Amino acid sequence: MNSKNKESLREINYLQPNGVLGFVHPETKLGKNVKVWHFSFIDRNTEIGDNSVVGSLVHIDSDVKIGKNCRIQGQAYISRRTTIGNNVFLGPACTLLNDKYPPSGGVLKGPVIHDDAIIGGRAIIMPNVQIGKGSVVGAGSLVTKDVSDNVVVYGFPARVVMSKEEYLEKQRTWTKRSS
């Protein structure tokens, strides 16, 4: 590798305080207080809003928009042309896809995850699917069609199982029992 290539590599790799490398493309726009953990990859033309956290081993492809105050847990995969709103939680190893009939030769339409949504660990969101504002996708679910606002879906394929109000009540009960 010649010295010019080494210098380019230094510009696009970032070194975290603990000495671990990750990759953030120079054309990526990171907001204020964005934290990116170990070995994550963030490709070009991606924007990540203020106060968001990207966990270890996350892959964020190109042309992705991520809002403010998002939490992306380790091993998540976010495909090209995905849009994620503000205050979204993506659980560990969730997968957001963009190609319905791969390889389709460039017809890529990532999912749209609206504000305040929660996506559980290992959930799969299919291409061009919308997850409604405030909705919850249960862990391990396969979401093949749009999800309305403020509902909880889970299953394989996912289906509506309760309202967001019911979910929040179950969350409060769980929290009380656990403390």
Name the average pLDDT for the chain.
89
User: Tens digits of per-residue pLDDT, 21-36?
Assistant: 688 888 899 999 999 9
Sign of CA dihedral 56, 57, 62, 66: negative
d(C-alpha 108, C-alpha 5), whole Å:
31
Q: Of 114 and 179, which is predicted with more confidence?
A: 114
How does residue 16 score in pLDDT terms, banded at 50, 70 and 90?
A: low
Position 7 scores a pLDDT of: 38
How far apart are alpha carbons 158 and 173 in whole angstroms? 24
Residues in the chain: 179
Looking at residue 8, what is its pLDDT? 41
Share of the chain above pLDDT 90, in %: 75
Kindly tell me if the per-residue pLDDT of 11 is higher than 60: no
The SS3 of residue 177 is: helix
What's the CATH fold of domain 12-178? UDP N-Acetylglucosamine Acyltransferase; domain 1 (2.160.10)
Q: pLDDT band for position 18 (50/70/90)? A: low
The end-to-end CA distance of the chain, in Å, is 56
Neighbouring CB atoms inside 10 A of 131's CB total 29
Kindly report, residue by residue over 64-100, the tens digit of the pLDDT: 999 999 999 999 999 999 999 999 999 999 999 999 9
With beta carbons less than 8 A apart as the criterion, state whether 113 and 99 touch.
Answer: no
Domain boundaries, the chain: 12-178
- Using DSSP's 3-state secondary structure scheme, residue 59 falls into strand
For residues 66 and 48, the answer to whether their CB atoms sit within 8 Å is yes
Q: Quick: pLDDT tens for 144-177.
A: 999 999 999 999 999 999 999 999 999 999 988 8
Q: In terms of Cα–Cα distance, which of 66, 75, 156 is closest to 111?
A: 66
The answer, yes or no, to whether residue 2 has pLDDT greater than 70, is no
**How many CB atoms are closer than 10 A to CB 13?**
11
